[in-house]
Chains A and B, each alone.
Chain A
């Protein structure tokens, strides 16, 4: 492996990892604040990517501008799902919640396959398809743009959570919902909005991911594993830690891809997931103890 290859891998991995941060953030927020393991996260992500593909490839709309309606649409879908499902599941046991969101995942995946089949799709990124050259190093513009947009969204979310009173209320709610209720925070309303933001972020993740990767409706579970890996490495609900964990995973994947044949890359990533769970000595059960 030459220095040039390594540099190229680090740059590609960092940018790809930034996108992974965007892929995982919605899952992290919903898990960290509401303690809901949203198994439907990746199904929403792929659904968002498919609708995005339809708008960009089918209707010829601008790939950058179309990120906004997809994210907003995800938010609105989140409000509907909260009203129809999540608010009822909130009073149920953890296993019932898991089953409920597994069911939602199957429904979304089935609709996606019925509408778009199982074909692999690639978004026509148009003016973003050029590759910028820095000497020997080539960096796809789409990857830079996807990472930059994700960075902007995660920094904005971080500032919102850490610098505003509503952000403090969300963090307080994550720590102790009863005391949050006691000081007059409208926990029900805030929960609905946070869930909707989580779903909106999942749909947003689908758009930025589709700028850098091809995708199909059936492979969303792979992205669910990726998102969980980032959440476990980065901790719950923190936008900046999620971003850093995403970058780590991106670099790990790219550098490992240089060292071993492609088919072993996923194996290495799942190995990393297992190591992360073992080393941190905590799984999803830690949600009860760790908050944003």
Chain B
């Protein structure tokens, strides 16, 4: 991997009193609010079913809230779809394997740069930049992505997410399903993204690792805001927090 670069600072992403659910009769998020501060890592933690991933789905545009709004700077983006949010610099790294397995690494990268499809020169440049950033992908760029190891696939997912140089990254459970040795590499890469000045919302069950990298932490419980504060507030209370979640 090459040395860190810096990106222009993004506007603040805000979830404002959002109520959302997947079916008419259920509410997964109940008036949840959070601010994703520019250039910082904001972690969202909580037990299973607390609404972490749903809050990320609302921020990414996969789920439109019933009440409340999502803003990016001064713009209300509540009704924008994921593609429109991507065009505004908000990219998502989803949970689990998300490569297109039957497509080659090269094709996966190009689809990440789909919004540049009418500008071939910029598209080629973006693909090359990602192959420079993750050089282990270059010699195998014509292999199907389904043939990659877990670690290689995660690198490809990072590359595909970063190919449009997004200012805001919404990252869902980045280490789920990976071998422990690869988990460290994933958090190293997250640290690098932070050093580049990107705005990151990190939804994670790996509490220790998430708090270690976060600047600000929100916790959710039963679909509502629970606790929030700067990392230092949480660092000493992790054991108690985890025990509390286990009892929820």
On A, residues with C-beta under 8 Å from B are 165-166, 168-169, 171-172, 175-176, 178-186, 291-292
Contacts and interface: CB of A to CB of B under 8 A. Distances in A.
A185 B111 contact: yes
Interface stretch (B17-25, B32-40, B82-90): B82-90
B115 A184 contact: yes
B141 interface: no
Contacts of A169: 111, 114
B160 A181 contact: no
Interface in B92-108: 92, 94, 98, 100-103, 107-108
B117 interface: yes
Contact of B117 (A165, A180, A182): A165
Contacts of B62: 178, 181-182
B103 A171 contact: yes
A184 B84 CA distance: 7
Nearest to A187: B83
B103 A185 contact: no
Contact of A172 (B92, B103, B117): B103
A14 B102 CA distance: 30
B42 interface: no
B77 to A, nearest CB: 14
Contacts of A186: 83
B60 interface: yes
Contacts of B87: 184
A168 B86 contact: no
A184 B86 contact: yes
Given A172-B103, A291-B102, A181 B114 contact: no
Given A181-B83, A186-B83, A168 B60 contact: no
Query: Which 10 pairs from chain A and chain B are nearest by CB?
Result: A184-B83, A172-B100, A168-B107, A184-B86, A184-B115, A175-B100, A179-B98, A184-B114, A172-B111, A183-B112
B60 A180 contact: no
Contacts of A165: 110-111, 114, 117
Contacts of B110: 165, 168
A97 B164 CA distance: 37
A179 B94 contact: yes
A183 B103 contact: no
B152 interface: no
Given A168-B111, A169-B114, A179 B100 contact: yes
A168 to B, nearest CB: 4
B49 to A, nearest CB: 21
B81 interface: yes
B217 to A, nearest CB: 25
A63 B152 CA distance: 54
